Amino acid sequence: MPKFLVPVCLCVMSLSTGLSALTAGGQRGQATPPTPPASTSAEVLGMYTNIANFIARTATMVPAEKFTWQPTPEVRSFARLFAHIVDDNNGACSAMAGVTPAPARMDTGNATDGWAANKLTKADLEKALADSVALGNKAFAAVDQTNMMEMQGRRTKIGTLVYNTSHINEHYGNLVTYLRLNGMVPPSSVPRGGGPGELRNF
């Protein structure tokens, strides 16, 4: 073999060996596929719990004096957003949870006479949030693969739970913007694990 081909052959052999090892290592290091949820409602519950936790953590981190803050007069204050989320949870989940009539609405009033939620304390709103999430959990516990397609008002039971989950997530998006405008980092943007790391944008 010509001498000039020896280094080329060695390089090719080395590259081939490295790729084989990388491929084998990649196969060996593949993560175990996630375990499927026990049911459709269990999967939606996981999403709901994640969002509800972000909302509860937001309520905890907002100072009491900021609860009546709103970016413009045309949109809800922090307090009204939390109250509206409570109303969403209660309205969507009370019947499925066996609670009738549904708890009284909290986001009531008007700009002229004042909004009821703006007169509530931080502690009152945090408790109302926790109670509404507990009601949601009762509703999820009552829905399974055998009854999830039964009608609950205008939607199926599982459809109602999916709708409410997406709806409170929309309002968590509002809260994210409110937090950013007040120089606070949203719970969903804190690095995973709580340690140092680059903050996520959302």
Q: Where are the domains of the chain?
A: 42-188
pLDDT tens, residue by residue, 186-198: 999 986 554 443 4
End-to-end CA distance of the chain: 61
**Contact in structure between 183 and 173 (CB atoms under 8 Å):** no
Task: State the average pLDDT over residues 55-76.
Answer: 97
Tell whether the model's pLDDT for residue 105 goes beyond 70: yes
Mean pLDDT of 6-35: 54
Model confidence at 13: pLDDT above 90 = no
pLDDT for residue 140 is more than 70: yes
pLDDT interval class at 30 (50, 70, 90): confident
Please state, in angstroms and as integers, the Cα–Cα distance from residue 79 to each residue in 72, 74, 168, 191, following that order.
Answer: 14, 14, 15, 27
pLDDT over 70, % of the chain? 80
* Spatial distance between the Cα atoms of 177 and 199, rounded to a whole number of angstroms: 15
pLDDT band at 1 (very low <50, low <70, confident <90, very high): low
* Confidence grade of residue 39 (pLDDT, cut at 50, 70, 90): confident
pLDDT band at residue 2 under the 50/70/90 scheme: low
* Residue 85, beta-bridge partner list: none
pLDDT at position 5, please?
47
Mean pLDDT over residues 89-95, rounded? Answer: 96
**25 pLDDT higher than 50:** no
Angle 49-50-53 from CA coordinates, rounded to 5°: 80
* Radius of gyration for the chain, computed over Cα atoms and rounded to the nearest angstrom: 25
Q: Please name the amino acid found at residue 171.
A: H
Any idea which fold 42-188 has? Four Helix Bundle (Hemerythrin (Met), subunit A) (1.20.120)
Helices (H), the chain: 5-28, 40-61, 78-93, 122-141, 157-181
Q: How far is Cα 69 from Cα 80, in angstroms, rounded to an integer?
A: 10
Could you tell me the pTM of the whole model? 0.79
